[in-house]
Amino acid sequence: FLTVYSLSGSRGCRSLSRPLGRRQGMPWTGRQERTLIAVKPDGVQRRLVGQIIQRFEQRGFKLVGLKMVQASHGILSEHYGELRTKPFFQSLLTYMSSGPVVVMVWEGHNVVQASRKMVGQTNPAEAPAGTIRGDFSVHVSRNVVHASDSQEGAQKEIQLWFPAKDLLDWDCCDQIYTIEV
Ligand code: UDP
Ligand code: MG
């Protein structure tokens, strides 16, 4: 009991007694890695938003930003800028702007690499069962979800989709049980 009390007392789970989301000089939780995850229009239409969010929650990641948007060709062209010369670029933009997307920022240990693994290969035919694409999709052009592919890419995508003020820096009370701090 004493150990548990001292952990929760010193590590931020009494967050209601101080301003929410401020870590006030506690070195044990530096800001962790973040990544951009989006449920694409097919995922939204097929009512998969809840199941996709659940996977990231149950893995132990922390949601720090979330919104539903009808994405413009402008933001999508920038988001997929590296694919501009690909033959599927225009149809990708049409697909991605065909309905709302749910865009999220998830935070946690090794989240960029872990979430790419959770999402599975770009082509769902190659994505194993157990991955999001492997469980919910069959065709490369309708693969349900986006995940940043590197820490650098994640930073750019997060800045593109979210103003800094819309990302919340909050203490999640189970953190001492999901990573070693
Ligand atoms: N895409 C497509 N046809 C292809 C390859 C990609 O329609 O032959 C789409 C697909 O939606 C994919 C997106 O373009 O998710 C971005 O491609 P990328 O290679 O970055 O794959 P991802 O990072 O999404 O796995
Ligand atoms: Mg990509």
Task: Give the separation between CA 147 and CA 68, rounded to whole angstroms.
Answer: 16
Distance 4 CA to ligand 1 centre (A): 46
Both structure tokens of 71: 């994405």
Q: Is the CB of 149 under 6 A from ligand 1?
A: yes
pLDDT per residue as tens digits for the range 120-142: 999 999 999 999 999 999 999 99
Nearest residue by C-alpha to atom 14 in ligand 1: 92
pTM of the model: 0.88
Helix axes 111-119, 49-59, angle to 10 degrees: 140
**Residue-wise pLDDT tens digits, 29-67:** 557 999 999 999 999 999 999 999 999 999 999 999 999
- Position 4 confidence tier, pLDDT thresholds 50, 70, 90: very low
- What's the pLDDT band for 166 if we cut at 50, 70, 90? very high
Starting at the edge strand that comes first in sequence, how are the strands of the sheet with 145-147 ordered?
Answer: 62-69, 101-107, 34-39, 145-147
Q: What is the pLDDT of residue 13?
A: 54
pLDDT above 50 (res 24): no
Q: Express each pLDDT in 61-111 by its tens digit.
A: 999 999 999 999 999 999 999 999 999 999 999 999 999 999 999 999 999
Per-residue confidence band for 7, with pLDDT thresholds at 50, 70 and 90:
very low
Which residue owns the Cα nearest ligand 1 atom 1? Answer: 141
Task: Name the pLDDT band for 26 (thresholds 50, 70, 90).
Answer: very low
**Distance separating alpha carbons of residues 148 and 8, to the nearest angstrom:** 33
